[in-house]
Amino acid sequence: MTAQIIDGKAFSTQLRSRVAGHVTRLKEEHGITPGLAVVLVGDDPAPEVYVRNKGRQTIEAGMNSLEHKLPTETSQADLFALIEQLNSDPVIHGILVQLPLPKHLNADLVINAIDTAKDVDGFHVSNVGLLGTGQNAMIPCTPLGCLMVMRGHLGDLSGLEAVVVGRSNIVGKPMAQLLLGDNCTVTIAHSHTRDLASICRRADILVAAIGRPEMIPGDWIKPGATVIDVGINRIARHGKQQLVGDVDFSSAAEIAGAITPVPGGVGPMTIACLLANTVTACCRANGLPAPEGLTL
Ligand code: GUN
């Protein structure tokens, strides 16, 4: 069997166009322009490219984008002061602090200093709690994008066996909560899991979010399963730099029913969901109902 390739780019283009439509309506009917502030500490080139893409796509969607680039040696007090300023700025509806932060900064304290209503990453402990208890949370962008793609591809997920490989706060744990919310039977596997192969083989939905290049081979996949590869790993192959996922694509595509490629899979959904969360936050801040089609 050869798997269907899930076109994440197409899903993300559709979502960004819905976002842009809502932004136009907010401007025309209410005179409001959603604003997203992104804070980047340090000068690592990889997140810098990612932050630049976020800024470009925010502007393309018709929103205001504010970038705060701070030097690596920024103190915790200075970062808190900036977050406080953004929390009280009425033209800012979403705040994102790019992770990871330099080691001398406490990421948990920094994230929890963000106004929960502006926490468009959904990383604040209050949003984590709301998601875990099935309440109206701001949902982390990468798992939100994955769930939208899964629903779009599979429809109702009720009763399916889902295995999430990876237990990060950014992807694995919220992904598991979302799948549970959609009535899947969920297993979270990680680096200490015994017999990972046989656990993966029972998955109707396999989410790979480990950050290890091509770690999951095709023979760990149940025939016909839907494979969502969240990994984005840069490797050197045949003397060239290449992006690969956490799943060995060529062997997996022989067994799976459907698979997201890397690149071109769920990756572009993360920024699209960030834009969607910013519009949702903007509507809530202005006493307007959350727009259709931007969240779950
Ligand atoms: N670093 C990697 N992914 C993310 C993300 O989704 N949000 C933030 N803030 N930092 C990240």
> Residue 98 Cα, ligand 1 centroid: separation in angstroms?
5
Q: What average pLDDT does the segment 91-101 reach?
A: 97
End residue of a domain, out of 60, 94, 128: 128
**Claim to verify: residue 209 and residue 97 sit in the same structural domain:** no
Annotated active-site residue 98? The verdict is yes
- 54: nearest Cα among 92, 2, 97: 97
Q: Domain for residue 164, yes or no? A: yes
Q: Domain for residue 23, yes or no? A: no
Q: Which of 115, 118, 119, 121 is catalytic?
A: 121
Testing ligand 1's pocket by substitution, the residue of 121, 123, 168 carrying the most ligand atoms inside 8 A of its CB is 121
**Claim to verify: residue 47 and residue 163 sit in the same structural domain:** no
Ligand 1 and 248: CB distance under 6 A:
no
Mean model confidence pLDDT for the chain:
97
Q: What average pLDDT does the segment 259-288 reach?
A: 97
| Count of the separate structural domains present in the chain | 2
Q: What pLDDT was estimated at residue 170?
A: 97
**Claim to verify: residue 182 and residue 159 sit in the same structural domain:** yes
**Claim to verify: residue 73 and residue 183 sit in the same structural domain:** no
In the chain, the N- to C-terminal Cα span, in Å, equals 32
Ligand 1 and 51: CB distance under 6 A:
no
End residue of a domain, out of 82, 105, 128: 128
Q: Domain for residue 84, yes or no? A: yes
Q: What average pLDDT does the segment 44-62 reach?
A: 93
Q: What average pLDDT does the segment 167-189 reach?
A: 98
**The residue type at 212:** R
**Claim to verify: residue 118 and residue 146 sit in the same structural domain:** no
Ligand 1 and 170: CB distance under 6 A:
yes
Q: What is the CATH number of the domain that holds 97?
A: 3.40.50.10860
**Claim to verify: residue 40 and residue 70 sit in the same structural domain:** yes
Q: What average pLDDT does the segment 92-109 reach?
A: 97
Q: What average pLDDT does the segment 56-80 reach?
A: 98
Kindly tell me the burial class for residue 45, based on how many C-beta atoms sit within 10 Å of its own C-beta (0-12, 13-18, 19 or more): exposed
- 51: nearest Cα among 271, 295, 281: 271
Residue 270 alpha carbon, nearest atom of ligand 1:
6
Name the residue with the closest Cα to ligand 1, atom 11. Answer: 99
Q: Is the separation of the CB atoms in 268 and 9 below 8 Å?
A: yes
**Claim to verify: residue 147 and residue 252 sit in the same structural domain:** yes
Residue 100 alpha carbon, nearest atom of ligand 1:
1
pTM above 0.95, yes or no: yes
Q: What pLDDT was estimated at residue 119?
A: 98
Q: Domain for residue 293, yes or no? A: no
**Claim to verify: residue 168 and residue 224 sit in the same structural domain:** yes
Q: Domain for residue 291, yes or no? A: no
**Claim to verify: residue 94 and residue 120 sit in the same structural domain:** yes
Annotated active-site residue 119? The verdict is no
pLDDT over 70 at 32, yes or no:
yes
Q: What is the CATH number of the domain that holds 187?
A: 3.40.50.720
Q: Give percent of the chain with pLDDT exceeding 90.
A: 97
What are the tens digits of pLDDT across the range 196-245?
Answer: 999 999 999 999 999 999 999 999 999 999 999 999 999 999 999 999 99
pLDDT over 80 at 77, yes or no:
yes
DSSP state of 204: S
Q: What pLDDT was estimated at residue 47?
A: 87
- 278: nearest Cα among 17, 37, 31: 37
**Claim to verify: residue 109 and residue 150 sit in the same structural domain:** no
Give the residue numbers spanning the domain of 112: 30-128
Q: Domain for residue 8, yes or no? A: no
**How is residue 123 written in tokens?**
């990383």
End residue of a domain, out of 128, 153, 173: 128
Helices in 31-98 by DSSP H: which ranges? 45-60, 76-87
pLDDT classification of 1: cutoffs 50, 70, 90: low
Q: Domain for residue 85, yes or no? A: yes
How far from 128 is each of 116, 137, 262, 267, CA to CA, in Å?
A: 10, 7, 28, 22
Q: What pLDDT was estimated at residue 45?
A: 86
**Claim to verify: residue 124 and residue 216 sit in the same structural domain:** no
**Claim to verify: residue 115 and residue 152 sit in the same structural domain:** no
Ligand 1 and 130: CB distance under 6 A:
no
Q: How do strand 161-165 and strand 205-208 relate by DSSP bridges?
A: parallel
Q: Domain for residue 157, yes or no? A: yes
Ligand 1 and 114: CB distance under 6 A:
no
pLDDT over 80 at 252, yes or no:
yes
Annotated active-site residue 85? The verdict is no
